[in-house]
Amino acid sequence: MVLAVVSCQQGVTDLGVVEDSSLNQEESLGPLVNGMARALSDALDTIALTGAAVSREVVASGSQFLFGVTPRQSRGILDPVESDEHWNLAHRARWVAEEGVRRMREVLGGRFPTSRLAARGLLFAGFANRLLGENMCHGVVDGGPAQPRTVHFERSKEAFEEAHEIAVRIGDADLANAALAGRASVLASLGEWAGARADAERIPPGFVHHARYHRNEIDQYNTLYWATAGTPYRSISVWSTFYEGYYLETGDPRTPWSRDPAADEGPLGVPFLRQEKYTSRDAPIPLVDRAEMRLIVAEARLRAGEVPGALAEIEALRAKAGVDPWSAEDLEGAWTALKRERGIELWLEGRRLWDLHRWREEGVPGEAEDLAGRDTCFPIGATEASTNPNIP
Amino acid sequence: MPNSGPTPSWIALLCAAVFATLSLLDPVSSVAQQTGTIVGEIREQGSERPLSGVHVFVVGTRDGTVSDDSGRYRIQGVEPGDRRIRAELLGYGVDEALALVEPGETARADLVLVREYLRLDEMIVTGTVAGARAREVVHSVDRIDLDEILEPVATLDQLLMSRVPGVSVQPNSGLAGSGSQIRLRGNVSISLSNQPLVYVDGIRIRSDGYPENLPRLGCRCRGPNDTPSPLNDLNPADIERVEIVKGPAATTLYGTEAASGVIQIFTKRGEEGPPVWNLRIDQGFDRVLEFGTESKPFLGLDPWLDDAAWRERYALSVTGGGILDYHLSTSLDRSDGVLPNDRSRRFVVRANLDAEPHEDLSIRWSSSHAARSIENTAAGMNAHGLTFNVFRGDRNFVGGNSEESIAPLLEYDIGTEIDHTLLGLSVVHATTRSFTNRLTLGYDRAASRMDQIRPAGFVLAPDGVLYVEDWVNEILTAEYVGSLDLPLSGDLSTTISWGAQNVTSTVESDAVHAEGLPAGEAPTPGSAAFSHFTDSRVRVRNSGLFLQALLGYRDRYFLNGGLRVDGSTAFGEGLGLQSYPRIGVSYVLSEEPFWGEGWGRIKLRASYGHAGRAPVEVDRLRTWAEVDFGGDRALLPDAIGNPRLGPERTAETEVGVEAAFFDGRIAAELNHYDQRTTDALLPVSPIPSLGFQEKQLTNVGELRNRGVEISLRGGLLRRRFIDWEAVLYLHTNHSQVTDLGGAAPLDLYSGVGWILEDEPVPVLRGPRILNPHEIAEPVIEEDHLWGPNLPTRTVGFHSTIQLPRGVRFHLRAEHVGGHYIYDNISNSLARREVLAVCEDAYRLRASGHSERLTAWERVWCDADRVPTNAGPFYPADFLRLRELTLEVPVPWAFLSESSSILTVSARNFWTWKNDDFLLFDPEMIGSKGMHTRIRRIDAHVPPPASLIASFRMAH
């Protein structure tokens, strides 16, 4: 008997998925860059939330899982299993951006050096690599072996440089400033303070470049807001942090928090002091801004021994915020002022863990949150460790 | 939410019209004077009990009928002369009697049937191509005959639960409309559904649960956290019998989808004769039994539970025939539900019509429509729901457990409207006596419209949230089967059967999620501040050819060989066709010449066969997901793709013995099965730093699944005034992951439910306190392997006692055990220090007497020490009194040609649980309802007990 089977290939008509092979065309590049933006935003607010609790910008007060801080994380322990999501999201953000840029070079050919999309893609590659460098203990690229985390700062620097060139070429000042400011921040992280200062000095007043969040679905929300909004989670609280007392004393608009009479306590029984920096589901998170640039200049000057100059930079920021200057006199006081001011200015932006880590490693003077016995970076995620053959 | 059910008026009209015209079809009204009538009574030998539902007919004619509940029958219009009357009833030997029929006169013929448990000449359909006699069947087939069930069954889940060995029906919760997971011989798949295939009158219907009523955005927990089952859209009163085949040794010919077994449902058909009307009225209530501690028997839920939730059911059918045989029925079920927002309503109509336009040709039409309306209370691990907040007491999300705090949660409205239509047409053509052809066309449409509203101002979502999803699964079946009998020589016979089958399943869903609702009535997505639409459509087509040869020698040696070859749109491009072979033998030992007269009857059989489970198509492709980002289209890496994707393949070896002893009064069946699944699909993680991070299904694993099924059935006492029959069965199931194929150990749920090499499928793993009852510091074994999550043994016991005047008493009990369950909700409660079993311990700690606590209490009654999402684990063994039923005929009721029966039945009112089973109930599955893969206890109420009185009347 002859057996024959007719099998018609009429499977998927609309699954909301697109085959990889169909993306090598110009129409796909816009959505690919939008994907880079989303991947970076997803990674940033997840890392910012956990990082905030580990670096004592806030304390855990509620949900331990959904939009929350796990008990281990709140004790300052970052383990591979609980860091898996952070690792994966950050690596997805990098891969999507770098792979997208590669695809753009192929699809656009000679038009790549003058493409605004290309500049945006490179910018995302820069910020995604910065996020990895600042938060992950080890650098890993495309399934390769573990390397020093500076590999990500180097890639970031390169991406920002190319983005800057394109942005200048097409006359897009906003993109050019974002690339320059991004490079300033990674040069500082690489210890290249002169270069960092030079870039930072070029950023005009009022400049800010954000990671975006949206109200369309929960995955696009600003998690730091949502975890503390009128939701059941109330995951984090400002209670017992430096910022609790600081805001009470100064009313500094950069570190606002409030009490909610309807929810006086978080589900963990901790007084619930709600952060008010982000007040909507689509509140953007700054990636780089003019104030950070001034603090890079201040830190560069401090490192060059220019204490009064450094303090002047800091006090200018405080005056602008309408708060009293720090009463710092010596080098140690100046470092304390710098550390505090960076904490205030970059509060809940996912940057504190790196600052505290690098200052501790370098042994610079001055007071800041004490992270003794706490982790200051995320380890290689459990999935990466178990699937990547180059990681023993 | 609309309160009225979705009963389309055209159905009601159609129904009324059909019922009204029935009397016109009554063939008896045209009886000529030249014929006579035969009446009589049919009783069971020994007990002298009248037997209802017996097919009685005049041999060699189409004159016949079915006996009524008092065992009486009447055949009118019989040609005069010496007539032979034959009576047949499933489970009984045949009896014949002679009657002399005179024109215009009434002759009498009483018959006596002998109960027989091993029926070697009964027709079996499932697992064979064109039907076969039981003696020819090489695999085990379980049957459930509705005639034998006393209990007023309301759903198919109830009908299948603890009736036969190897069939596990696991309910989930006390929510209205909650459907059960059905497992035949355990799990054969890790990643795909283990729900068996279900056919109704040869038509494939959806057997997997309906989707969850769950908004696409936000926590994947905002809903009732339970699922209805499409199988419960059937009206059990329409079912005549169910055949169940449990593994690939029997299901090979069903091909790529059949590795988890096949359940075939046969609905009632018309019979030539006057219309017989059946009316059934059930009234009763459901009640959740205590599931907490002595001081908090319902863990604080008492004020919100209905302790006698009303349930009622009305079913009417008419069966008869002439030129056209018909079974028409309608039923209405209503239930109040034990939770405050719960309610359900089901309306079912069915029309089965059979005709024989020519003696070689028969046409069977089956159609049914069910309209169900289910309203649910938000439950499960849902922070906006009733149960989770109540169980969390003063540490909940609404500021406490007072009625004023909890009541606003009930503004959360959740509704599901189900429309389920089933149409089937089967045409059988007997080209010659030995050559038949059958064509079957079927259409199953299971549609669910899910909606839920948290109105503007809702306590935990003040902006208001609306979600509406229209979901439809359509399954088209087309099947051709041919069968040819070839008598080769005197002793040798051959039947060759062949066929082709095409099953196309399409699932479509359109959903809208809206937030920022206007205050007031009936918000719509259009009036919301923000709305988000999603839609999807997936189609899978499986096509196959099959061939079977049955060789018989001396009507006692049988060899059965078969092959199915399948193609599927789900297979990877490089994979091609898949073939599934089968071979089996059957041997009726007791018909050997040397077999002694009093040695009983024995049939031996063995079968080996393959069957598969297909993935969904998209798994083979490398894809990017189209997602939204602030209203713009964005692309993110989705699946890395697997071009070699293929079906899972399960091979089963089954050997069995069927025997009857002591004049057929005791029957025994023994099966041993051994299933090995290769190419098991496991989700394998790609390397995250390479971008694609979704796990990719890959055919790498190997599983094994084996056990025995033993059943004993017999008449223990058979006297004129008392007849006692009992059934005892045992089923074991031991599963094991034999090879992960290099895939990482797989965490199926929250770090506690695992797929680990050499362990059961799945196994629970988590910390165990080695000295739980000691007043001491706990000694903890981390990562203890607790054991299987699915039962390893089931023992069932049924007993029916028949007393004079047709009074019957039935008891059914079941023990299920060997498995473990994870108490997810208690973990959450322990982390908030509101665990009811810790009340004393909390007091001792508060008064500074922590040193008096047991090791168990020191861990579980201290939030700082509770292992996060890891326990408590309970041994889930239980013994449950499934059913106590009393049936009493009511002879005085109404008309002379009627019979009436009153039944009172109590379900699940008594349970024994293991001492270490602290809270809730072992028969719970978890928040994903029928789709749950690790059975656990979530914030649900257990399935309720029920007490039902049922009145049945036949006319």
Whether residue A27 lies within 8 A of chain B, CB to CB, comes out as no
State yes or no: pLDDT of A257 exceeds 70.
Answer: yes
State yes or no: pLDDT of B414 exceeds 80.
Answer: yes
Query: Of A11 and B800, which is predicted with more confidence?
Result: B800
Say yes or no for a CB contact (<8 Å) between A31 and B832: no
State yes or no: pLDDT of B4 exceeds 60.
Answer: no
Q: Which of B532, B623, B685 sits opposite A18 (nearest CB)?
A: B623
> What is the number of residues in chain A?
392
When pLDDT is cut at 50, 70 and 90, the band that residue B618 belongs to is low
Question: In this predicted structure, which of B233-242, B277-286, B621-630 has the lowest mean pLDDT?
Answer: B621-630
- Terminal CA-CA length for chain B: 40
User: Which residues from A are below 8 Å from B397, CB to CB?
Assistant: 232, 267
State yes or no: pLDDT of A89 exceeds 90.
Answer: yes
User: What value does the mean pLDDT take over residues B841-858?
Assistant: 95
Say yes or no for a CB contact (<8 Å) between B623 and A20: yes
CA B53 centroid distance within chain: 25
Q: How far is B624 from chain A (nearest CA, A)?
A: 5
Q: How far is A332 from chain B (nearest CA, A)?
A: 39
Q: Which of B97-106, B151-160, B251-260 has the highest mean pLDDT?
A: B151-160
User: Which residues from A are below 8 Å from B617, CB to CB?
Assistant: 11-12
Residue pLDDT, tens place only, B902-913:
999 999 999 999
* pLDDT at residue number B572: 76
A56 burial (CB, 10 Å; 0-12 / 13-18 / 19+) is: buried
Q: Which of A17, A88, A217 sits opposite B217 (nearest CB)?
A: A217
Say yes or no for a CB contact (<8 Å) between A21 and B622: yes
Q: How many other C-beta atoms are found inside a 10 Å radius of the C-beta of residue A194? A: 11
State yes or no: pLDDT of A254 exceeds 70.
Answer: yes
Q: How many other C-beta atoms are found inside a 10 Å radius of the C-beta of residue B574? A: 10
* pLDDT at residue number B253: 84
Residue pLDDT, tens place only, A356-380:
999 999 999 999 988 889 999 999 9
When pLDDT is cut at 50, 70 and 90, the band that residue B8 belongs to is very low
* pLDDT at residue number B127: 65
Instruction: Kindly state the tokens that stand for A226.
Output: 């949502």
Distance between CA A293 and CA A204 in Å, rounded?
10
Residue pLDDT, tens place only, B664-673:
788 999 999 9
User: What value does the mean pLDDT take over residues B577-599?
Assistant: 92
Instruction: Kindly state the tokens that stand for B324.
Output: 């056209």
Substitution target from B498, B530, B635 for chain A, most A beta carbons within 10 A: B635
User: Which residues from B are below 8 Å from A387, CB to CB?
Assistant: 685-688, 744
Whether residue A88 lies within 8 A of chain B, CB to CB, comes out as yes
Whether residue A234 lies within 8 A of chain B, CB to CB, comes out as no
Distance between CA A18 and CA B247 in Å, rounded?
37
Say yes or no for a CB contact (<8 Å) between B217 and A218: yes
**Residue among A184, A183, A159, A164 at smallest CA distance from A175:** A164
* pLDDT at residue number B9: 47
User: Which residues from B are below 8 Å from A384, CB to CB?
Assistant: 687-689
When pLDDT is cut at 50, 70 and 90, the band that residue B919 belongs to is very high
* pLDDT at residue number B219: 79
A190's CB contacts (< 8 A; 6+ apart) are A150, A153, A154, A157
State yes or no: pLDDT of B18 exceeds 70.
Answer: no
**Residue among A283, A286, A275 at smallest CA distance from A246:** A275
Distance between CA B747 and CA B823 in Å, rounded?
17
Say yes or no for a CB contact (<8 Å) between A12 and B617: yes
- pTM of the full predicted structure? 0.81
User: What value does the mean pLDDT take over residues B768-789?
Assistant: 95
Say yes or no for a CB contact (<8 Å) between B624 and A262: no
Do A242 and A56 touch, CB atoms closer than 8 A?
A: yes
* pLDDT at residue number A66: 75
Question: In this predicted structure, which of A122-136, A169-183, B522-536 has the lowest mean pLDDT?
Answer: B522-536
Substitution target from A387, A388, A390 for chain B, most B beta carbons within 10 A: A387
Q: How far is A219 from chain B (nearest CA, A)?
A: 8
Query: What b/e string do you get for B892-930 counting C-beta neighbours within 10 Å, with b at 16 or more?
Result: eeeeeebbbbebebbbbeebebeeebbbbbbbbbbbbbb
When pLDDT is cut at 50, 70 and 90, the band that residue B34 belongs to is confident
* pLDDT at residue number B893: 52
State yes or no: pLDDT of A354 exceeds 60.
Answer: yes
Say yes or no for a CB contact (<8 Å) between A383 and B632: no
Mean pLDDT, chain B, whole residue set: 89
User: What value does the mean pLDDT take over residues B916-926?
Assistant: 94
Say yes or no for a CB contact (<8 Å) between A11 and B628: no
Distance between CA A321 and CA A318 in Å, rounded?
5
B890: helix, strand or coil: coil
Distance between CA A175 and CA B157 in Å, rounded?
63
Q: How far is B783 from chain A (nearest CA, A)?
A: 15
Say yes or no for a CB contact (<8 Å) between B691 and A38: no
Q: How far is B75 from chain A (nearest CA, A)?
A: 49
Say yes or no for a CB contact (<8 Å) between A267 and B832: yes
**Residue among B942, B793, B949, B781 at smallest CA distance from B870:** B781
State yes or no: pLDDT of B797 exceeds 50.
Answer: yes
Cβ under 8 Å to B: A residues 275-304: 282
When pLDDT is cut at 50, 70 and 90, the band that residue A115 belongs to is very high
Query: Of B488 and B368, which is predicted with more confidence?
Result: B368
| Largest distance between two CA atoms of chain A | 98
Say yes or no for a CB contact (<8 Å) between A231 and B568: no
| Largest distance between two CA atoms of chain B | 99
Residue pLDDT, tens place only, A214-224:
987 788 899 99
User: Which residues from A are below 8 Å from B508, CB to CB?
Assistant: none
Say yes or no for a CB contact (<8 Å) between A31 and B219: no
Substitution target from B214, B579, B629 for chain A, most A beta carbons within 10 A: B629
Say yes or no for a CB contact (<8 Å) between A12 and B618: yes
Q: How far is A147 from chain B (nearest CA, A)?
A: 13
Residue pLDDT, tens place only, B689-738:
999 988 888 899 999 999 999 999 988 887 778 889 999 999 999 999 99
Instruction: Kindly state the tokens that stand for B875.
Output: 């041994």
CA B316 centroid distance within chain: 23
* pLDDT at residue number B530: 79
* pLDDT at residue number B51: 85
**Residue among A343, A134, A389, A162 at smallest CA distance from A246:** A343
ipTM surpassing 0.90:
yes
* pLDDT at residue number B894: 54
Question: In this predicted structure, which of B158-162, B461-465, B487-491, B901-905 has the lowest mean pLDDT?
Answer: B487-491
When pLDDT is cut at 50, 70 and 90, the band that residue B31 belongs to is very low
Distance between CA A18 and CA A16 in Å, rounded?
7
Question: In this predicted structure, which of B104-118, B168-182, B783-797 has the lowest mean pLDDT?
Answer: B104-118
Q: Which of A31, A94, A140 sits opposite B635 (nearest CB)?
A: A31
Instruction: Kindly state the tokens that stand for B505.
Output: 């399943």
User: What value does the mean pLDDT take over residues B313-327?
Assistant: 94
What is the Cβ-side half-sphere exposure of residue A23, based on CA atoms within 13 angstroms? Answer: 25
Say yes or no for a CB contact (<8 Å) between A35 and B218: no
Do B543 and B502 touch, CB atoms closer than 8 A?
A: yes
If you search the block for the tokens 């089952």, which residue do you land on? B229
* pLDDT at residue number B722: 87
Q: How far is A344 from chain B (nearest CA, A)?
A: 29
Question: In this predicted structure, which of A138-142, A346-350, B444-448, B463-467 has the lowest mean pLDDT?
Answer: B463-467
Say yes or no for a CB contact (<8 Å) between B689 and A212: no
Say yes or no for a CB contact (<8 Å) between B569 and A16: no
* pLDDT at residue number B664: 76
Residue pLDDT, tens place only, A6-47:
222 222 233 467 888 889 999 999 999 999 999 999 999 999
Do A377 and A78 touch, CB atoms closer than 8 A?
A: yes
State yes or no: pLDDT of B362 exceeds 70.
Answer: yes
Calculate what percentage of chain B has a pLDDT beyond 70: 95
State yes or no: pLDDT of A207 exceeds 50.
Answer: yes
User: What value does the mean pLDDT take over residues B402-420?
Assistant: 96
Distance between CA B48 and CA B723 in Å, rounded?
9
Beta bridge mates, B504: B476, B541
Q: Report CA-CA distances (Å) from A346 to A179, A248, B41, B147, B691.
A: 19, 19, 93, 76, 29
Distance between CA B245 and CA B609 in Å, rounded?
12
Residue pLDDT, tens place only, B219-243:
789 999 999 999 999 999 999 999 9
* pLDDT at residue number B45: 79
| Cis bond before residue A365 (omega within 30° of 0) | no
Q: Are strands B878-889 and B899-913 parallel, antiparallel or unpaired?
A: antiparallel
When pLDDT is cut at 50, 70 and 90, the band that residue A268 belongs to is confident
**Residue among B377, B221, B393, B421 at smallest CA distance from B288:** B377
Q: Which of A5, A16, A143 sits opposite B536 (nearest CB)?
A: A16
Residue pLDDT, tens place only, B151-188:
999 999 999 999 999 999 999 999 999 999 999 999 99
Say yes or no for a CB contact (<8 Å) between B537 and A14: yes
